[in-house]
Structure 1
Amino acid sequence: MTVPTTTQTDADVIVVGAGPAGSATAFYLARSGLDVLLLEKTRFPREKVCGDGLTPRAVKQLLQMGIDIDAPGWVRNKGLRVVGGGLRFDLDWPHLERFPDFGLVRTRQDFDQILAANAAASGVRVMEGVTVTGPILDDRSGHIVGVTTKDGAEYRSRLVVAADGNSTRLALGMGLHKREDRPMGVAVRTYFESPRHDDDYLEIWLELWAEDRLLPGYGWIFGVGDGTANVGLGLLNTSAQFKNIDYRDLLRRWCKAMPAEWGFTEENMTAPIRGAALPMAFNRQPHYTRGLLLVGDSGGSINPFNGEGIAYAMETGEIAAEIIVKALKGTTPAQRERTLRTYPGVLKDAYGGYFTLGKWFVEAIGRPEVMRFGTRHGLPHPRLMRFAIKLLGNLTDRRGDASDMIINALSKVAPPA
């Protein structure tokens, strides 16, 4: 087994990207005593396209990392309000042993900064305004031993974590490309001054129409609590019309159809309409190769069922950190490599079957007749909707009720993504 020969390092681990995935990874690594360098290309605070809604999965991670969610700016919610087929249901988050029974809203304008500051308080060296351009490879082994930056600097480490998002330069630099057999989503959103800024529920609209076509995706209205609401759309590439849709225009038309008293007008818009890609179901693999680990969006760790990425970004960061700590402490180079190579399998065990179910789900709703049938005939049944909120949110206990057992069993028998 060939391993890197370099001994010069600036850190035990370099983490590239200080979004939720990178900051979580860095936090857990530093808490275990490793020297961590976290490189972020922008400077905080900075904007990020997102719905700003956090499910109980994400809340659990924030609590684990000691984030003060009772501080000003955090808005709690009880669950989801689902709108479609002329019906409206308020569905509370399930009461589970593994997760809290509430969600949160916090804008990405400072959410990522809070997580990066938390990592810094744990001993991580955070450097802002550093754009990583590619990997430094060991001449003999081909392993990554550091990174180059736009300003010509080089930083070296024993391992590198790519947390640089969907367009990850590091993964591309290591020859890892996207898998075309995975779903891809697009999210577009803006903010409005609106009386809808304060709501106990995250509101999801299941019907998105482009003229007479029902599209695979959903709209959302998430109150931010500061006088504004985050309003947006998420769409999937499983629709035949995906490439021909003007997403920003679709959002404008959707908002115009809303009640006038909600104030979703151009005059009340407080931010431009922005969009971002949503890489789903492990669309970039393997998650470990030659000294590089992928976490969060860089490895396509977004839930295909609901487009949620923040929870999985933090969770994959925690998993990666556990494996890195085990690999770097008291092992030979060969043992270290064997430990690191377990990372993709651990991710597949944790999410692979569930993500496959999500892949099948988005392929199904890409057919308008399936989407129409599900909206019109599924919503009127509260018990089915309570099952759906668990399935779509990946919110189950290991030994829970019948719905938990069904979802867990399906995730176990489905081939891993």
Structure 2
Amino acid sequence: MTVPTANQADADVIVVGAGPAGSATAFYLAAAGLDVLLLEKTEFPREKVCGDGLTPRAVKQLLNMGIDIDAPGWVRNKGLRVVGGGHRFELDWPRLESFPDFGLVRTRKDFDQIMAANAVEHGVRLMEGVNVTGPVLDDRSGHVIGVTTKDGRTFRSRVVVAADGNSTRLALGMGLHKREDRPMGVAVRTYYRSPRHDDDYIETWLELWDAETLLPGYGWIFPVGDGTCNVGLGLLNTSDAFKNIDYRDLLKRWVRNMPEDWGFGEATMTAPIRGAALPMAFNRQPHYTRGLVLVGDSGGAINPFNGEGIAYAMETGEIAAEVIARALRTSTPAHRERVLRTYPDVLKDAYGGYFTLGRWFVEAIGRPGVMSFGTRHGLPHPRLMRFALKLLGNLTDRRGDASDRLINALSKVAPPA
């Protein structure tokens, strides 16, 4: 197999996409002593459709990478306020050894730039405004040995990481298409000025009605701390009504029913309503093939229970970097390939069973009556809801309490796929 040598390559590793997945991957690769080129098609600061909320799982990753979360602009929250079935109550983030007991909110316009800058500070070479159009393949082996760009340039490396999101051109260029047996979600959001912009809790509404139909999904209010709140909703494709919903109109109708003290209305909206797809439960596989590694949304690493993607983007980036660094330390191309091929199995060991539970969950709540039954009968029980917060947020200790052990056991016995 002909692959670029260290002298022939523009970098040891090229990472395409400087979102959370790409910047985390690049950071950990650079920390391992590798020469890393991070290519981003836009220029910072740039907008990104997201809820802007960071669970304790994501906060742990930020702390691991040395991000200064005490700097201005980071807003802490104590937990989750749940609204549904005529109930409203607050659940603090669980106190665990494995994760912090607080969450954060930071707009993606700032967040992604901070992540990329942190990678650069640790030795990563960042190039903005470089639109990657596809992989460069070795003529004999078919392995990825670099990438091409819209302006006609070619960059070569020993390994390429696809961190280019849901519609990844690199994965498609290698023939990796989405799996139809995986759930997909849609998220839409906007921003409103609000007197409650610094609320101690993020808020989720578990009942989204379209006329007489209760939809599988939830609405959210994430106080940003800058005078505004990020307000949005996420819906799953497990409902028959999914394809016929005007999501932007649904968001407007939902907001009209918000309590007045939030201050939401046409006059206080500060941004257009934007939407994005949520690829869940490893909807694109394999996560490694012929020199290409998938991280974050490019491999569908979004939690199907709650639609969280940022934590898993950073975590899969760390896992990928560890495998790549170990592979590039080997003495022969054949040995390097054997190590790289372990990456999909490492991901399945880490998340496969849990994501399978999530798939079963979203299939269940897509059935008429299940979501309504769960909302009516589950919410009145605080102990059950604390268990649900751990389950949906994937927040447990390895040797924790009974609820931790149950969730861990279920994730272990569920078949990874």
Q: Does residue 136 of the first structure (1) align with residue 136 of the second (2)? A: yes
Shift of 1:260: 3.0
1:101-159 CA-partner distances (Å, limit 9, x unpaired): 10000000110000000000000000000000000000000000000000100000000
Separation in 2 of the partners of 1:393 and 1:195?
A: 28
Tell me, what secondary structure is at the counterpart of 2:44? coil
User: Is the 1:5–1:140 contact (alpha carbons within 8 Å) kept by the matching residues of 2?
Assistant: no
8 Å CA contact 1:79–1:202 kept in 2: the answer is yes
* SS class of match (2:189): strand
SS in 2 for 1:363: helix
Aligned to 1:401: 401
Q: Does 1:246 align with 2:227?
A: no
Is structure 2 residue 360 aligned with structure 1 residue 364?
Answer: no
Q: Secondary structure at the match of 1:276?
A: strand
- Residue identity in the other structure for 1:117: A
Count of aligned pairs between the two proteins:
415
Cα deviation for residue 44 of structure 1 reads 0.4
1:387 aligned partner: 387
Tell me what 1:282 maps to.
282
Letter aligned with residue 190 of structure 1: T
Equivalent residue, structure 2, for 1:108 = 108
Partner residue, 1:89? 89
Q: 1: distance between equivalents of 2:174 and 2:196?
A: 46
For 1:155, the equivalent position in structure 2 comes to 155
Letter in 1 for 2:274: R
For 1:312, the equivalent position in structure 2 comes to 312
Distance of 2:145 and 2:65 partners within structure 1: 28
Q: Distance in 1 between matches of 2:283 and 2:379?
A: 31
Which residue identity lines up with residue 63 of structure 2 in the other structure? L
Q: Tell me the CA shift for residue 195 of structure 1.
A: 1.4
The residue type equivalent to 1:121 in the other structure is E
**2:37 aligned partner:** 37
The Cα of 1:325 is off from its aligned counterpart by 0.4
Q: CA deviation at 1:262?
A: 2.0
Asked whether the 8 Å contact 2:144–2:292 carries over to 1, the reply is yes
Partner residue in 2 for 1:57: 57
Letter in 1 for 2:145: V
| Percent pairwise identity | 84
CA contact (8 A) 2:186 2:235 kept: yes
- Paired with 1:357 and 1:4, the residues of 2 have a C-alpha distance of 42
1:196 CA drift (Å): 2.3
Secondary structure in 2 matching 1:339:
helix
Instruction: Output aligned runs, 1:139-218, within 5 Å.
Output: 139-218=139-218
Partners in 2 of 1:331 and 1:284 — Cα distance?
A: 30
- Asked if the contact 2:3/2:158 (under 8 Å) is kept, the reply is no
1:197 match: secondary structure: coil
Matched to 1:4, the amino acid is T
Runs of 5+ unmatched residues, structure 2 = none
Q: Assess if the C-alpha contact under 8 Å between 2:202 and 2:222 holds in 1.
A: yes
Q: What's 1:257 paired with? A: 257
Equivalent pair of 1:296/1:314 in contact (CA under 8 Å): yes
What is the CA–CA distance in structure 2 between the aligned matches of 1:374 and 1:201, rounded to whole Å?
23
2:86 aligned partner, one-letter code: G
Gaps of 5+ in 1: none
Q: Which residue of 1 aligns with 2:333?
A: 333
Partner of 1:4: 2
Letter in 1 for 2:383: R
Give, in whole Å, the separation in 2 of the partners of 1:52 and 1:85.
Answer: 26
CA distance in 1, matches of 2:98, 2:307: 21
CA shift at 1:330, angstroms?
3.5
Q: Aligned partner of 1:100: which letter?
A: P
Query: Structure 1: how far apart are the matches of 2:238 and 2:114?
Result: 35
SS in 1 for 2:45: coil
Matched, 1:269 2:269: yes
Q: Which residue of 1 aligns with 2:344?
A: 344
Deviation of 1:257 after TM superposition, in Å, equals 1.2
Q: What TM-score do the two structures reach when normalised by structure 2?
A: 0.99
Query: In 1, distance between residues paired with 2:32 and 2:100?
Result: 26
Matched-pair contact (CA < 8 Å) for 2:27–2:124 = yes
Is the 1:4–1:142 Cα contact (8 Å) retained in structure 2?
A: no
Q: CA deviation at 1:6?
A: 3.6
Q: Is the 8 A contact 1:216 1:368 kept in 2?
A: no
Shift of 1:332: 1.1
2:136 alignment partner, SS class: strand
1:21 to 2:21 alignment: yes
Post-superposition CA distance 1:168-219 (Å, at most 9, x none): 0000001100000000000000000011211111100000000010000000
Task: Check the 8 A contact 2:57/2:99 in 1, yes or no.
Answer: yes
Question: Matched residue of 2:164: which SS?
Answer: coil
CA RMSD of aligned residues (A): 0.7
Q: Secondary structure at the match of 2:196?
A: helix
8 Å Cα contact 2:3/2:145 also seen in 1? no
Amino acid at match of 1:294: L
Do 2:4 and 2:156's aligned partners in 1 also have CA atoms closer than 8 Å? no
Residues 312-337 of structure 1 show CA distances to partners (whole Å, capped at 9, x for unaligned) of: 00000000000000000132111100
Per-residue deviation, 1:302 = 0.1
Distance 1:254 1:238, change over 3 A: same
Please give the alpha-carbon distance, in whole angstroms, between the structure 1 residues aligned to 2:90 and 2:302. 25
* CA distance in structure 1 between the partners assigned to 2:21 and 2:40 by the alignment: 12
Aligned mates of 2:277, 2:60 — CA distance in 1: 25
